[in-house]
Amino acid sequence: MLSGVQYNGIDPPPFELPFVNNPDVATENTLKLMEQTPDARKRLIFTSLTRHLHAFMKETKITMDEWEASLAFLNRAGKLSDRGEPEIIMALFGVHPLLEAMNNTSQPNITESAPLGPFFSEHTQEVSNGNSIASEGKGEYMYVEGRVLDTEGNPVANAVIDAWEADDTGHYDLQYAGQTPDCRGRLRTDPEGKFSFRAIVPLAYPATADGPAGDLLLAMNRHNMRPAHLHMVFDAPGYDKLTTQLYFRGDKWLSTDIALGVKESLVVDLEQVDDIERARALGFGRPERGFKLLKKDIFLRKSSDAEGRPGYETTSV
Ligand SMILES: [Fe+2]
């Protein structure tokens, strides 16, 4: 039976390559082919990757068995791409923080971004300012308040805010049968840009790690925990949409987050409030338990300022 594969029409290069009789010839031959890449940027990347990859294989003296195991690993990861396994593996190797540090994506006066994560959902509940995104009876109370502002400190009214968090067992509503929105809500800023809502203190939780990424973590003796965080998205006409996460100072998983994604500016202090009257006035069902206060102002950038702003919308951890 004829194969459907066709010759791509490219002539052989104007040179012959020596047969490979030692490792260095393998490297030199490959580099010579890579140097034919017409596009300068691609040529740089391909030749550099070849040099580093070959140097890595020589330095570690990769064996045939290890190479075959690596291919099997990559194939397993590829089959789990719908849940972002390749991104998780890259995260384990610190690629995102390195890229961000190299590209200096943080902007003064703008709240920094963080991954959307796999648990965002449009299936949410509308809440008014001051109301709760969490059902009563779970976890430790938290009150979240702040303002959404532009870079000059002017309020951004009517910004749509999505907030979602893991509950007191470290799970999102989407992980339960039925998937009723809970610990998840959508609200809008008032004319002064203010927002506030009741929630619970989210718990740290393990990222999915039953595939190749999980095997890698075990081999590295590394945990698979994300520090506790509150996910938030801010969307207002005329401004760059901001996807971010807020973390809590003192969290033992903070600096070794499986995603290595925590940014200092997104770490907030939770203030313990034991004022029963204040807790009652805010609407907490059991005010005698007090609550944690999270205060955070959010700064958005006007869309017209946004030229080639880097940042990521989705990853899987
Ligand atoms: Fe999360």
pLDDT confidence of residue 1 = 62
Ligand 1 mean position to 175 CA, how many Å? 12
The mean per-residue pLDDT over the stretch 132-142 comes to 94
Confidence of residue 42 (pLDDT cuts 50, 70, 90): very high
Ligand 1 mean position to 276 CA, how many Å? 30
pLDDT confidence of residue 308 = 43
Q: Which CATH class is domain 101-305?
A: mainly beta
Ligand 1 mean position to 191 CA, how many Å? 29
Ligand 1 mean position to 205 CA, how many Å? 8
pLDDT confidence of residue 317 = 52
Confidence of residue 88 (pLDDT cuts 50, 70, 90): confident
Ligand 1 mean position to 13 CA, how many Å? 51
**Secondary structure of the chain as H, E, C letters:** CCCCCCCCCCCCCCCCCCCCCCHHHHHHHHHHHHCCCCCHHHHHHHHHHHHHHHHHHHHHCCCHHHHHHHHHHHHHHHHCHHHCHHHHHHHHCCHHHHHHHHHCCCCCCCCCCCCCCCCCCCCCCECCCCCECCCCCCCCEEEEEEEEEECCCCECCCCEEEEEECCCCCCCHHHCCCCCCCCEEEEECCCCCEEEEEEECCCCEECCCCCHHHHHHHHHCCCCEECCEEEEEEECCCECCEEEEEEECCCCCCCCCCCCCCCHHHEECCEEECCHHHHHHCCCCCHHHCEEEEECCEEECEHHHCCCCCCCCCCCC
The mean per-residue pLDDT over the stretch 280-298 comes to 97
Confidence of residue 3 (pLDDT cuts 50, 70, 90): confident
The mean per-residue pLDDT over the stretch 160-176 comes to 96
Average pLDDT value over all residues in the chain: 92
Instruction: For residue range 13-41, list pLDDT tens digits in order.
Output: 999 999 999 999 999 999 999 999 999 99
pLDDT confidence of residue 314 = 44
Instruction: List the chain domain ranges.
Output: 18-62, 101-305
| Residues at Cβ < 5 Å from ligand 1 ion | 117
